Amino acid sequence: MTVLVINSGSSSIKYQLVNPETGESIASGLVERIGEPEGHIEHNYNGTTTDINEPVPDHGVGLREVIRLFNEVGPNLDEAGIKAVGHRVVQGGKHFDKAAVIDDRVEGLIEELIPLGPLHNPAHLKGIKVARELFDVPNVAVFDTAFFQHLPAEAATYAIDREVAEKYQIRRYGAHGTSHQFISRKVTEMLGRDDLKQIVLHLGNGASVSAVVNGEAVDTSMGLTPLEGLVMGTRTGDIDPAAVFHLARQAGMSIDELDTLFNKQSGLKGLTGSNDMRSVWEMAHEGNENAIEALEVYIHRLLKYVGSYTAVMGGLDVLTFTAGVGENSWETRKMLLDRLAPFGVKYDADKNMVRSKEPRVISTPDSAVTVLVVPTNEELSIAQQAMEVI
């Protein structure tokens, strides 16, 4: 039994054929530079990579090529027991608190939500429309916002005029929910307890924190869009919205320019020139003052979220690191955990430095909070959620 997981972006399609029971990734690939003069397709199966360099005019041509590769290079999708196609969808608005089989109504709602997910939903729709034509198994939309659909009103509500908020659907939707749900469930399984107050730190290029009590999300750092919250690879995270008014008035920047500045040219990239945490650490080790300060700003923001979510939950049992930085950068973990020492957080320095793909506890038995590193697997989570709804 397998699920084809598709993450369709504006000029790319990432895919993975996953066994939702064992978690095995059977084949994977990428179509990129769709619509540009030189396209590229990569298909990985059985330890071999097939590369094709050819123009891919649109998502339809891209997905047809992917199906051709499955037929010619393998694995044959029917023989691999494909049961569903699972689509990652960033914005599910107020409509979806779990994955949904895609019919015309669901497709229409994803389309209606474009104003709330202008960078993502149009791109997802391209993949969805083509996949609905090409595959005769159910297509399922798995929403990044679903895990946060039932955030308490106190966490989801912005203090803005209610009529404006209602009319334009302004609230905190959160994002990365697939990962936060996957990780918090995994922690529950690992520790054999579901009555836990958890903080999940998803630190990748995009980054977010969630507070989870007894398996339910009670707060999260991303808001109306993924821009709010932590310092990210290229996003500002929290910033006084008046910076927008100021730049519009003083610098004459347009809304689109501001959107690009805040989403694509800020965060670590804005502070250091690189959005890659490895480079930022390298620069810091060489004494680059901007990089050293960027790390301090990054950790300061994280620390504030850990503190505020501990207060919101009335305590903290478990703190879990995940995603590219959270899983791999022992120095980033160390920098945060050292600041938590006054609260009784103790970790094993050697365990923290181990590189591993396995979920693991890195705190000491006498630590006030259990600290874990748990690799995320959004494709597996999407495959599992797709199977759950069909």
Q: Among all residues, which ones are annotated catalytic?
A: 144
Any binding-site annotation on 228? no
Any binding-site annotation on 313? no
Among positions 44-83, residues that touch ligand ADP (CB under 6 A) are: none
Judged by beta carbon, residue 238 or residue 276, the one nearer ligand ADP is: 276
Question: Under rule CB under 6 A, how many of the chain's residues touch ligand ADP?
Answer: 12
Among positions 273-292, residues that touch ligand ADP (CB under 6 A) are: 276-278
Residue 28 binds to ligand ADP (criterion: CB under 6 A): no
- Please report how many Cα atoms fall inside a 13 Å half-sphere around the Cα of residue 259, on the Cβ side: 8
* SS3 state of residue 289: helix
Any binding-site annotation on 263? no
Among positions 228-247, residues that touch ligand ADP (CB under 6 A) are: 233
Residue 329 binds to ligand ADP (criterion: CB under 6 A): yes
Judged by beta carbon, residue 149 or residue 208, the one nearer ligand ADP is: 208
Judged by beta carbon, residue 205 or residue 364, the one nearer ligand ADP is: 205
In order, the DSSP letters of 191-256 are: HT-S--EEEEEEESSSEEEEEEETTEEEEES--SSTTSSS--SS---S--THHHHHHHHHS---HH
Smallest distance from ligand ADP to CB 183, Å: 12
Judged by beta carbon, residue 97 or residue 331, the one nearer ligand ADP is: 331
Residue 325 binds to ligand ADP (criterion: CB under 6 A): yes
Any binding-site annotation on 203? yes
Of 292, 296, 293, 271, the closest CA to residue 283 belongs to 292
What CA–CA distance (Å, rounded) separates 272 from 184? 32
Any binding-site annotation on 229? no
3-state secondary structure labels for all residues of the chain: CEEEEEEECCCEEEEEEECCCCCCEEEEEEEECCCCCCCEEEEEECCEEEEEECCCCCHHHHHHHHHHHHHHCCCCCCCCCEEEEEEEECCCCCCCCCCEECCHHHHHHHHHCHHHCCCCHHHHHHHHHHHHHHCCCCEEEEECCHHHCCCCHHHHCCCCCHHHHHHHCCCCCCCCHHHHHHHHHHHHHHHCCCCCEEEEEEECCCEEEEEEECCEEEEECCCCCCCCCCCCCCCCCCCCCHHHHHHHHHCCCCHHHHHHHHHHCCHHHHHHCCCCHHHHHHHHHCCCHHHHHHHHHHHHHHHHHHHHHHHHHCCCCEEEEEHHHHHHCHHHHHHHHHHCHHHCCCECHHHHHCCCCCCEECECCCCCCEEEECCCCHHHHHHHHHHHHC
Smallest distance from ligand ADP to CB 203, Å: 7
Any binding-site annotation on 65? no
Residue 206 binds to ligand ADP (criterion: CB under 6 A): yes
Any binding-site annotation on 276? yes
Any binding-site annotation on 193? no
* Stretch of 17-25, 65-73, 116-124, 317-325 lying at the interface with ligand ADP (CB under 6 A): 317-325
Q: Of all helices (H) and strands (E), which one includes residue 291?
A: helix 289-313
5, 130, 196, 323: residue in contact with ligand ADP (rule CB under 6 A): 323
Judged by beta carbon, residue 80 or residue 335, the one nearer ligand ADP is: 335
Residue 212 binds to ligand ADP (criterion: CB under 6 A): no
Judged by beta carbon, residue 130 or residue 291, the one nearer ligand ADP is: 291
* Stretch of 110-118, 244-252, 307-315, 321-329 lying at the interface with ligand ADP (CB under 6 A): 321-329
Smallest distance from ligand ADP to CB 103, Å: 29
* Stretch of 164-172, 254-262, 318-326, 362-370 lying at the interface with ligand ADP (CB under 6 A): 318-326
Q: Which residues contact 186 (CB under 8 A, 6 or more apart)?
A: 359, 374
Smallest distance from ligand ADP to CB 325, Å: 4
Residue 328 binds to ligand ADP (criterion: CB under 6 A): yes
Closest residue to ligand ADP, based on beta-carbon distance:
324
175, 324, 367, 382: residue in contact with ligand ADP (rule CB under 6 A): 324
Residues contributing to the annotated binding site: 7, 14, 88, 202-206, 276-278, 324-328, 378
Residues contributing to the annotated binding site for Mg(2+): 7, 378
Residues contributing to the annotated binding site for ATP: 14, 202-206, 276-278, 324-328
List residues near ligand ADP by CB under 6 A: 204-206, 233, 276-278, 323-325, 328-329
